[in-house]
Amino acid sequence: MKSFSVEGVDVFAHQVEELPPGQHEAVVQIVRELEGGDLYLGDVERGEIQITGIRHIVSNKFWTEVEHEVLFPGKNGKPPTAGTYRSVRWNVGLDSGTAALCVTSNGRVVLTRSFRHAARGWRYEIPRGVRRPGETFMQCGFRESLEEAGIQETDQTQVVDLGMYEPDTGVLMQKPRLIAYTKMVVDPQKVSPDVSEAISGYMTVSVDRILDMIDDGFIVDGYTQAAVLRGLLRGILSSTRWVL
């Protein structure tokens, strides 16, 4: 058992040294963030949920679940209530990965058709994935786009950072990035999805059509919706349906 201290609160990570590479680093990073003040603990006196320690950590090959000991703000004049709160994060860290808004030279957006396990159904989405160790957000987006849909850059491609996106603030501790790539081309022969991915193809659609698909509830993926919105706001995308 290895003991850590977070502002006087003991934090225990059982058999940390015996974890496989990747999981070991993820667990150690979680504790270091608390020790070093990199993760905001919160202030219960300001009505926030305050982290006071770690109750339990469960890690697998891909992500780690953390059960924090916390103080919940008091209600109706009552003192704070002690409890626990769980969250999940990718082992690569808080800066987990990239969702890539890939735009062709004629202004069409590339969508993949992916079967999503948690949703138990097919979804049309922009390419996205988790960063590999040492990989930048931009590199991650290029790689995922190539693997999932055979999308490649050209000598005219421009890369625009659309900012951080939080897909689920109730459970997920991650800050993936939305990045736009313009003047891209698609080569189906370059598609090489991971063994854990079920991708049946891709389509290029006009921005007007994407807005219709979002409006109709056909595209429900939050990454795609957020990237399209920011692309319109930045002037990367244009649509007859969109007038500022």
Domains of the chain with bracketed CATH? 2-90 (no CATH), 97-233 (3.90.79.10)
Given this model, what pLDDT does residue 193 score?
84
Retrieve residue 224's tokens: 């795609």
3-state SS record for the chain: CEEEEECCEEEEECCHHHCCCCHHHHHHHHHHHHHHCCCCCCCHHHCCCEEEEEEEEEECCCEEEEEEEEEECCCCCCCCEEEEEEEEEECCCCCCEEEEEEEECCCCEEEEEEEECCCCEEEEECCEEECCCCCCHHHHHHHHHHHHHCEECCCCCCEEEEEECCCCCCCECCCCEEEEEEEEEECHHHCCCCCCCCEEEEEEECHHHHHHHHHCCCCCCHHHHHHHHHHHHCCCCCCCCCCC
Given this model, what pLDDT does residue 6 score?
45
> Nearest CA to 128 among 113, 140, 116?
140
- Please report, in tens digits, the pLDDT of each residue of the chain (244 residues total): 334 444 444 444 455 656 777 788 888 888 888 878 888 999 999 999 999 988 888 888 888 999 999 999 999 889 999 999 999 999 888 889 999 999 999 999 999 999 999 999 999 999 999 999 899 999 999 999 999 999 999 999 999 999 999 999 999 999 999 999 999 999 988 988 888 888 898 999 999 999 999 999 999 999 999 999 999 999 999 998 876 6
Q: pTM for this structure? A: 0.87
Retrieve residue 159's tokens: 């890369």
**CA distance linking residue 90 with residue 211, whole number of Å:** 30
Residue type, 222: G
Beta bridge partners of 99: 128, 178
Given this model, what pLDDT does residue 25 score?
83
Nearest 10 degrees: Cα torsion 124, 125, 131, 137: 160
Given this model, what pLDDT does residue 163 score?
97
**CA distance linking residue 170 with residue 88, whole number of Å:** 10
Given this model, what pLDDT does residue 241 score?
81
Given this model, what pLDDT does residue 161 score?
98
Strand 97-104, strand 177-186: pairing: parallel
